[in-house]
């Protein structure tokens, strides 16, 4: 099928104004939020903007006839290259599928189209006493479809769980263009948990066209406190002690000094400029419980060395404390023209030494590194500042990234807490999975998408067929053994 024929057929489904094919229009779709260098850009043949499930299915069938791959796209805020059409083909953009279809306060559910922006759902239910709990820092822009595909996290996921814990059912267009419903949308909770398989599958198994989400009641009392520390070590110890005391804050975030330098002059969030790190601690629940936990946290933080701890006394102050955290990435432009935000996880108990190790790695690479992250979950976000026009800067960042990933895996952690694997980290998968593990995952992909047409070149290491993956794993294992112990496996 020629491009002209493809565009004509797509226009027949979604309308001529909802198909992009000119180079200037396609350029916008070559990227997502990831760093060029860590992730390649790629241009699709065409972008289609359907308005409902039927149109998505018809677009998929046209792409199938043309032999072209399909990549779904939400807001393009992803940080691992997921929405980039790595092998060209057709991008299905969800911008027009942005309606909240039904709200049911009795069942505490909302049925939404995938292009609904995360925060807009909670705004939609304002006044009802309910909200949508998963709150990625990108929530003003990112879509619920993108959140589902990446199994997004956020500050409040410490207590409430990540996206998968809030998805009750899906309507999905499969790679052959058929439509299926899962979970509560299929009225069948028995059998295989297909919702669970599709959430977090990075757009590689199906395109979500309707999403049934759980609505969470807003607690009687919400309190946000700030605790300032003179070292990252003290702040991380406090994180561990709070959780070990049996308290589960709604959110427990760390913001380091470099981030404070970027944020405070712009947003005046109230973070002390001289703190090595601040913890933002949100408690919610019944008034008595919040007060009791707050008193205990106060004592723990003082024992761990806080020199300033205070609770917001108004809604405005509470929102300001959060604004500093949630707008931190936007403020980084004050410090450097470019940044690379990493996403790895370590057990909470290993936070202090891992933060020190990340500092050692980035300092050794001549990079400034900010730390602003979901401390309660052990979900690190080392943010390396650089200027890509400086010769060798991108290479230094990528080399430091490699070492950070290594250090986190060595500490018992893993590759990604919430940003997904995409193309960014796919070649790191053999660090944490055996060839057999990857082959099992490849089997799931094959069952849904035998021709590999949905979002190809993502998640699995290059050449993911079982034999090749196993060979790659063995080669990596040999490398690691010889580096660490001088052992050369026979």
Contact present, 325 and 378 (Cβ < 8 Å): no
Residue listed under structure tokens 């050794």? 364
Nearer to ligand FAD, 237 or 458 (CB): 458
Task: List all residues 6 or more positions away from 201 whose beta carbon is below 8 Å from its beta carbon.
Answer: 149
Question: Which of 9, 14, 18, 33 is the binder for ligand FAD (CB under 6 A)?
Answer: 33
Rounded-to-integer distance, Cα 402 and Cα 379, Å? 17
Nearer to ligand FAD, 114 or 240 (CB): 114
The residues pairing with 74 across neighbouring beta strands, listed in sequence order, are: none
Nearer to ligand FAD, 143 or 306 (CB): 143
CA atoms within 13 A on the CB side of 441: 19
Binding mask 293-332 for ligand FAD (x = CB under 6 A): ------------------------------------x---
Question: Which of 55, 171, 202, 284 is the binder for ligand FAD (CB under 6 A)?
Answer: 202
In the range 73-92, which residues lie near ligand FAD by CB under 6 A? Answer: 73-79, 82-83
Rounded-to-integer distance, Cα 149 and Cα 163, Å? 9
The yes or no reply on residue 254 touching ligand FAD (CB under 6 A) is no
In the range 461-480, which residues lie near ligand FAD by CB under 6 A? Answer: none
State residue 284 phi and psi, 5-degree precision: -145, 155
Q: How far is CA 151 from CA 142, 162, 167, 182, 195, in A?
A: 12, 7, 10, 16, 11
Contact present, 297 and 281 (Cβ < 8 Å): yes
The yes or no reply on residue 122 touching ligand FAD (CB under 6 A) is no
Question: Which of 50, 69, 153, 285 is the binder for ligand FAD (CB under 6 A)?
Answer: 153
SS3 label, residue 406:
helix
Binding residue count for ligand FAD, defined by CB under 6 A? 36
Stretch that binds ligand FAD, among 102-110, 134-142, 298-306, 357-365 (CB under 6 A): 134-142
Question: Which of 19, 133, 152, 358 is the binder for ligand FAD (CB under 6 A)?
Answer: 152
Tokens describing residue 352: 């202090």
The yes or no reply on residue 72 touching ligand FAD (CB under 6 A) is yes
Question: Which of 233, 256, 264, 418 is the binder for ligand FAD (CB under 6 A)?
Answer: 418
The yes or no reply on residue 32 touching ligand FAD (CB under 6 A) is yes
The yes or no reply on residue 280 touching ligand FAD (CB under 6 A) is no
The yes or no reply on residue 362 touching ligand FAD (CB under 6 A) is no
SS3 label, residue 355:
helix
> Is the Cα torsion angle 64, 66, 67, 71 positive or negative in sign?
negative
Binding mask 90-109 for ligand FAD (x = CB under 6 A): ----x---------------
The yes or no reply on residue 344 touching ligand FAD (CB under 6 A) is no
CB atoms near residue 76 (< 10 Å) = 22
Question: Which of 136, 200, 240, 324 is the binder for ligand FAD (CB under 6 A)?
Answer: 136
Rounded-to-integer distance, Cα 455 and Cα 207, Å? 10
Contact present, 167 and 199 (Cβ < 8 Å): yes
What's the min distance (Å) between Cβ of 219 and ligand FAD? 21
Rounded-to-integer distance, Cα 396 and Cα 384, Å? 10
- Strands 379-380 and 368-373, by their bridges, are unpaired
Return residues touching ligand FAD (CB under 6 A).
32-33, 71-79, 82-83, 94, 114, 136-138, 142-143, 145-147, 149-150, 152-154, 202-203, 207-208, 329, 418-419, 455
């Amino acid at each position: 099928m020629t491009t002209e024929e493809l565009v004509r057929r797509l226009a027949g489904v979604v309308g001529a104004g909802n198909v992009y094919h000119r180079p200037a229009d396609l350029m916008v779709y070559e990227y997502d939020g990831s760093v060029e260098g860590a992730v390649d850009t790629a241009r699709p043949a065409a972008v289609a903007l359907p308005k409902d499930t039927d149109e998505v299915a018809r677009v998929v069938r046209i792409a199938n006839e043309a032999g072209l791959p399909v990549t779904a796209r939400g807001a393009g805020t992803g940080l691992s290259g997921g929405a980039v059409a790595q092998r060209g083909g057709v991008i299905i953009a969800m911008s027009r599928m942005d309606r909240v279809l039904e709200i049911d306060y009795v069942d505490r559910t909302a049925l939404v189209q995938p292009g609904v922006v995360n925060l807009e759902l909670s705004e939609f239910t304002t006044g009802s006493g309910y909200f949508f709990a998963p709150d990625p820092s990108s929530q003003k822009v990112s879509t619920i479809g993108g959140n589902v595909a990446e199994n997004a996290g956020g500050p409040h996921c410490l207590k409430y769980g990540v996206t998968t814990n809030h998805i009750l059912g899906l309507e999905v267009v499969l790679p052959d263009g058929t439509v299926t419903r899962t979970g509560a949308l299929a009225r069948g909770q028995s059998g295989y948990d297909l919702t669970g398989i599709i959430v977090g599958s990075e757009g590689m198994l199906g395109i979500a066209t309707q999403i049934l989400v759980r609505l969470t009641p807003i607690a009687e009392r919400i309190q946000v406190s700030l605790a300032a520390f003179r070292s990252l070590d003290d702040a991380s110890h406090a994180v561990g002690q709070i959780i070990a005391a049996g308290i589960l804050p709604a959110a427990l975030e760390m913001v380091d000094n470099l981030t404070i330098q970027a944020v405070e002059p712009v947003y005046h969030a109230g973070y002390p400029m001289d703190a090595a790190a601040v913890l933002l601690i949100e408690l919610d629940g019944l008034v008595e419980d919040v007060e009791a936990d707050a008193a205990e946290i106060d004592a723990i933080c003082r024992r761990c060395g806080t020199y300033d701890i205070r609770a917001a006394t108004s809604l405005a102050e509470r929102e300001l404390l959060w604004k500093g955290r949630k707008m931190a990435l936007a403020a980084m432009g004050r410090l450097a023209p470019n940044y690379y935000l990493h996403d790895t996880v370590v057990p909470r108990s290993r936070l202090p030494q891992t933060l020190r190790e990340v500092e050692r790695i980035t300092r050794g690479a001549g990079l400034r590194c900010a730390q602003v992250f979901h401390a309660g979950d052990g979900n690190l976000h080392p943010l390396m500042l650089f200027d890509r026009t400086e010769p060798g800067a991108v290479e230094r960042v990528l080399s430091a990234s490699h070492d950070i990933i290594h250090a986190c895996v060595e500490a018992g952690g893993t590759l990604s807490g919430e940003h997904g694997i995409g193309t960014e980290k796919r070649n790191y998968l053999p660090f944490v999975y055996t060839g057999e593990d990857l082959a099992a995952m490849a089997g799931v992909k094959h069952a849904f998408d035998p021709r590999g047409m949905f979002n190809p070149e993502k998640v699995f290491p290059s050449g993911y067929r079982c034999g090749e993956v196993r060979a790659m794993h063995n080669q990596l294992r040999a490398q690691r053994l010889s580096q660490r112990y001088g052992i050369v496996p026979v």
